[in-house]
Amino acid sequence: MTMRTALMNVFHQEDINFLLTNRIPRRLVTRFMGWFSKIEQPLVRDASIALWRAFSDLDLSEARKTSFTSVHDCFTRELREGARPIDRDPGVVASPCDAIVGAHGRIAGTELLQIKGFPYSLHDLLGGPHRAESHRDGLYITLRLTSSMYHRFHAPHDCSVERVTYISGDTWNVNPIALRRIEKLFCKNERAVIEARLGNGDLMTLVPVAAILVACIRLNRLKTPLGLAYRGPNVIPCAANYQKGDEMGWFEHGSTIVLLVPRWWAFAENVQSGQIIRTGEPLFHQGNRVVRPSS
């Protein structure tokens, strides 16, 4: 057994993993990571990336450039042109990011799951009843980005972003171990609610959720980073048009995106819990829109 395997076996023990990633001053550690990752001293950079490689499956072969000025530069790397083919079918909502598929399914009224047995509400996630009602009985999918994955996220469909709502919060780890222990975790953490309108009028909402070590969430049409130092406003008007596959922003470490679509869409056949999915691959197919009669 190698040293790496032995250490990984230790870290995969739930109690130890939870202790190391949650029973620490999370906000302080996150602020420190945001500062440390930007150090451009070559020895610090090289040692940090080497340690990162030792404990993950970090693969830089698809990166646009072959050298990095800092760990932050490596975290937020761009990929070579064509590395992520985008499904251009207008009847498909594609994955906005590289991720592991987590909880997904039909929203029960306004209730969804972070993991089996742990429900939470759209009201709490989105920060208001109006937004929750907009996705009543719709579909949701949870996409978890690990630390070694590509950290940028892209438009899942041609769309117009109407507004962004920033909700300040904690920085709990969002790995499966924490999801089994912390109720309503996504509703406790810092997050952004990105409301986007498709060409046919459907509302699609992306909720990038920050976590420990995520120094901030960057949206490339907003000048100000959304992070622990952000002081408002909470609701940010945003008139931005995207073509499917256009870059929307990035995390400064791995985290999670919850994606919501209307109830008349359907899951793509390839979507399964635990599956690794890549940017541009199908998540949802468009179904027949049925408008409920007014009561």
Q: What's the whole-model pTM score?
A: 0.85
Range of the domain at 42: 3-75
Residue 21 lies in a domain: yes
Residue 43 and residue 171 in one domain: no
Q: What are phi and psi of 239, to 5 degrees?
A: -105, 85
Residue 223 lies in a domain: yes
**End-to-end CA, the chain:** 66
Catalytic residue among 37, 48, 95, 255: 255
Catalytic residue among 154, 157, 202, 253: 154
Omega cis (within 30) before 233: yes
Does residue 154 have an active-site annotation? yes
Q: Which residues of the chain form beta strands (DSSP E)?
A: 92-94, 99-106, 111-115, 118-121, 139-144, 152-154, 159-167, 191-198, 203-209, 216-219, 226-227, 235-242, 247-251, 256-261, 265-267, 276-277, 282-286
Residue 35 lies in a domain: yes
Q: Which amino acid is at 231?
A: R
Q: 14-22 and 3-11 helices cross at what angle (nearest 10)?
A: 80
Catalytic residue among 48, 95, 98, 151: 98
Residue 150 and residue 215 in one domain: yes
- Give pLDDT tens digits for 148-169: 899 999 999 999 998 899 998 8
Residue 147 and residue 262 in one domain: yes
Q: How many domains does the chain have?
A: 2
Nearest to 170 by CA among 189, 149, 156, 157: 189
Low-confidence ranges of the chain (pLDDT < 70): 1-27, 213-215, 227-228, 231, 254, 288-295
Residue 291 lies in a domain: no
CA 255 to each of CA 68, 143, 179, 215, 221: distance values in angstroms, whole numbers, following the listed order:
22, 9, 13, 11, 20
pLDDT at 16: 46
Does residue 255 have an active-site annotation? yes
Residue 66 and residue 102 in one domain: no
Residue 192 and residue 101 in one domain: yes
Residue 68 and residue 116 in one domain: no
Residue 253 lies in a domain: yes
pLDDT at 288: 60
Q: Which amino acid is at 227?
A: G
Residue 257 and residue 165 in one domain: yes
